[in-house]
């Protein structure tokens, strides 16, 4: 402390010290390097976190596979597939290269194969070119307690302009027979097969047993377009897929 300060009164000394102290703080605060400057970049808040190159990356957890419900097996169902005619009975011919018995056997085999792939217990009334009576076919449906009996045929008429598939039922068709006919017809239509009006008529192969039963006329062999289609493998495959799908829908919704 200098001698000047010792000569002034005590209160003035205190005031002098206070002012010099404040001035020193102001000087250091404005020009000193001891205070860190914080720079805030506009639009970047919060600031990015420091990168830690050695920190382990989080483990990759594989997403679970999508849950899909498998189609239920139809192994508790029995379906009798009945290719019409056979052996000494060729069926209709019309404009067809092959007789009805051969065409319907090819379609029936494909229907049977598709149903077996879904687990259905399929019984064929014939699987070769042999004659089977109508009563024997009907008896098979009864013996096997068929959930559905499906007879497969091709049509014929004197009018060559008539064409299209037809799903038939017996005169005394049960509710289940009518339901099967409706579902198979819907499936045929969804496969772009033109269908004529379904109807009931006297058919021994459908009426001489108690099981649900339908008869499908796959088209007219007396119509040029239908005959050409029915002799082609692609159309046989297409109509077989439609029939099988209709049967499958009938079984799964019963």
Residues that bind Zn ion (CB under 5 A): 84, 91, 153
Which CB sits closer to Zn ion, 115 or 216?
Answer: 216
The total of other beta-carbon atoms located within 10 Å of residue 73's CB is 10
Give min distance, CB of 223 to Zn ion, in A. 15
Tokens of 58: 């989080």
Which CB sits closer to Zn ion, 120 or 203?
Answer: 203
Q: What does the alpha-carbon distance between residue 68 and residue 147 come to, in Å, rounded to a whole number?
A: 28
Give min distance, CB of 100 to Zn ion, in A. 5
Give min distance, CB of 101 to Zn ion, in A. 8
Which CB sits closer to Zn ion, 153 or 185?
Answer: 153
How many CA atoms does the CB half-sphere of 39 hold within 13 Å?
A: 1
Tokens of 168: 């038939």
Radius of gyration of the chain from its Cα atoms, rounded to whole angstroms: 45
Could you tell me if 167 and 218 are in contact, meaning their C-beta atoms sit under 8 angstroms apart?
no
Which CB sits closer to Zn ion, 162 or 176?
Answer: 162
Give min distance, CB of 199 to Zn ion, in A. 16
Q: Is 83 strand, coil or helix?
A: strand
Tokens of 102: 């051969």
Which CB sits closer to Zn ion, 114 or 153?
Answer: 153
Q: What does the alpha-carbon distance between residue 123 and residue 142 come to, in Å, rounded to a whole number?
A: 12
Which CB sits closer to Zn ion, 107 or 120?
Answer: 107
Question: Nearest to Zn ion by Cβ — which residue?
Answer: 153
Residue in 72, 240, 217, 216 with CA at minimum distance from that of residue 148: 216
Give min distance, CB of 64 to Zn ion, in A. 53
Give min distance, CB of 246 to Zn ion, in A. 19
């Amino acid at each position: 402390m200098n001698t000047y300060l010792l000569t002034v009164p005590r209160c003035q000394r205190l005031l002098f010290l206070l002012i010099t102290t404040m001035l020193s703080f102001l000087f250091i605060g404005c020009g000193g390097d001891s205070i860190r400057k914080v720079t805030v970049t506009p639009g970047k808040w919060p600031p990015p976190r420091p990168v830690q190159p050695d920190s382990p990356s989080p483990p990759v957890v594989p997403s679970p596979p999508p849950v899909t419900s498998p189609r239920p097996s139809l192994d508790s169902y029995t379906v009798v597939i009945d290719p019409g005619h056979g052996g000494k009975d060729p069926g209709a011919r019309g404009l067809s290269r092959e007789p009805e018995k051969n065409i319907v056997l090819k379609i029936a085999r494909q229907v049977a194969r598709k149903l077996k792939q879904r687990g259905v217990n399929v019984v064929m009334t014939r699987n070769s070119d042999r004659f089977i009576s109508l009563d024997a076919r009907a008896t098979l449906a009864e013996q096997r307690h068929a959930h559905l009996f499906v007879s497969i045929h091709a049509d014929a008429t004197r009018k060559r302009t008539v064409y299209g598939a037809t799903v038939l039922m017996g005169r005394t068709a049960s509710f289940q027979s009518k339901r099967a006919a409706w579902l198979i017809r819907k499936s045929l239509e969804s496969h772009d097969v033109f269908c004529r009006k379904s109807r009931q008529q006297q058919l021994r192969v459908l009426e001489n047993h108690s099981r649900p039963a339908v008869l499908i006329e796959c088209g007219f062999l007396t119509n040029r377009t239908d005959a050409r289609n029915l002799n082609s493998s692609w159309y046989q495959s297409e109509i077989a897929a439609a029939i099988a799908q209709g049967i499958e829908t009938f079984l799964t919704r019963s």
